[in-house]
């Protein structure tokens, strides 16, 4: 049974097809499905895998969904809760009353359980120290630019670090260098976990910064060297 990560073997479009095909069955078992989420991923139980969640979720589908499709439907539910796009919501709303009811149910599951399911998945695959959000505030301290970064760990714990512009870039360069080093140390398949679009964004941001630095007065280098 696959784990809800938002990137299982089926595309989001395929998952919506599966859920639409079984929409009546899912809506009939609405209370039972919600009960599974409440008693597993949203509970205080600290289990190290999602097998129990998928076992119970599959269990409440037996007798309603064809036995050969149970696992596929359970995975589609879980992964859609984690990754339910506006495009999928719009598509369901175009499918008449059944689509609207299914959209309402999925929205309810997403609102109440997405963070819980993501947290369980991250703990399983990435450990309890995985960061889930970062927020930065900027201003001046002692007449110098200052950044305050608040990093949320495991969706609940906050870690705060402070930087100036120079060591903000030092930190960014460090992380980029680690990814490149990982390609040599861990293997080429590290690249499978990197979005080409994100690399393009990083390249564009770097080029933009290089352009504004080139246009900036030359005495910036003298100021940095004096610090």
Could you read off the pLDDT of 68-113 as tens digits, one per residue? 899 999 999 999 999 999 999 999 999 989 899 999 999 999 999 9
Check whether residue 32 and residue 92 sit in a common domain: yes
pLDDT of residue 37: 94
Closest C-alpha to 119, from 53, 192, 197:
53
Binned at pLDDT 50, 70 and 90, residue 4 comes out as very low
What is the Cα 108 distance to its own chain's centre?
18
Q: Where are the alpha helices (DSSP H) in 85-164?
A: 86-93, 96-126
Position 2 scores a pLDDT of: 46
pLDDT digits 0-9 by tens, 44-73: 766 656 888 999 999 999 988 888 899 999
Q: Which of 67-76, 155-164, 171-180, 211-220 has the lowest mean pLDDT?
A: 211-220
CA angle 90, 96, 99 (to 5 degrees): 60
Work out how many domains the chain is built from and give that number.
Answer: 2
> Is there a contact between 151 and 133 (Cβ–Cβ < 8 Å)?
yes
Sequence-distant (6+) residues with CB within 8 A of 121 are 3, 4, 5, 50, 82
Same domain as 48, residue 135? no
Give per-residue pLDDT as tens, 147-158: 999 998 877 788
Q: Are residues 121 and 28 in the same domain?
A: yes
18 and 112 co-located in one domain: yes
Q: 89 and 33: one domain?
A: yes
pLDDT confidence bin for 222, thresholds 50/70/90 = low
Q: Is residue 107 part of a domain?
A: yes
Inside any domain, residue 148? yes
Report yes or no on 86 lying in a domain.
yes
**121, 45: one domain:** yes
Quick check: is 27 in a domain? yes
Which residues, including other chains, have CB under 8 Å from residue 117's CB and lie 6 or more apart?
A: 4, 37, 41, 78, 81, 82
Range of 138's domain? 129-163
**Distance between CA 56 and CA 124 in Å, rounded?**
18
pLDDT of residue 217: 74
Same domain, 105 and 141: no
Q: Which of 1-5, 121-125, 176-180, 215-219 has the highest mean pLDDT?
A: 176-180
Query: How far apart are alpha carbons 105 and 215 in whole angstroms?
Result: 54
Report yes or no on 80 lying in a domain: yes
89 and 141: one domain? no
Neighbours of 118 (CB within 10 A): 20
Residue 139 lies in a domain: yes
Please report whether residue 96 resides in a domain.
yes
**208 has a pLDDT exceeding 80:** yes
Domain end position, chosen among 126, 153, 172: 126
pTM of the model: 0.64
* Same domain flag for 47 and 134: no
Query: Quick one: 65 and 24 in the same domain?
Result: yes
């Amino acid at each position: 049974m696959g784990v809800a990560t938002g990137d299982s073997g089926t595309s989001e479009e395929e998952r919506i097809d599966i859920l639409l095909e079984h929409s009546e069955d899912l809506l009939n078992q609405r209370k039972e499905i919600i009960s599974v989420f409440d008693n597993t991923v949203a509970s205080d139980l600290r289990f190290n895998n999602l097998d129990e969640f998928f076992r119970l979720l599959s269990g409440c589908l037996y007798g309603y969904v064809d036995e050969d499709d149970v696992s596929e439907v359970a995975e589609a539910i879980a992964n859609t809760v984690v990754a339910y796009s506006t495009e999928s919501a719009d598509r369901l709303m175009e499918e008449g009353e059944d689509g609207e009811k299914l959209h309402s149910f999925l929205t309810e599951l997403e609102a109440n359980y997405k963070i819980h399911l993501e947290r369980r998945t991250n703990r399983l695959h990435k450990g309890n120290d995985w960061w889930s959000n970062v927020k930065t505030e900027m201003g001046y301290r002692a007449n110098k630019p200052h950044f305050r970064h608040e990093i949320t760990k495991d969706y609940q714990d906050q870690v705060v670090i402070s930087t100036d512009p120079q060591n903000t870039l030092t930190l960014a360069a460090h992380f980029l260098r680690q990814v490149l080093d990982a390609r040599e140390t861990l293997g080429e398949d590290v690249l499978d976990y990197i979005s080409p679009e994100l690399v393009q964004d990083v390249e564009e941001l770097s080029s933009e910064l290089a352009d504004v630095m080139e246009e900036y007065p030359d005495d910036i280098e003298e100021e940095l060297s004096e610090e």
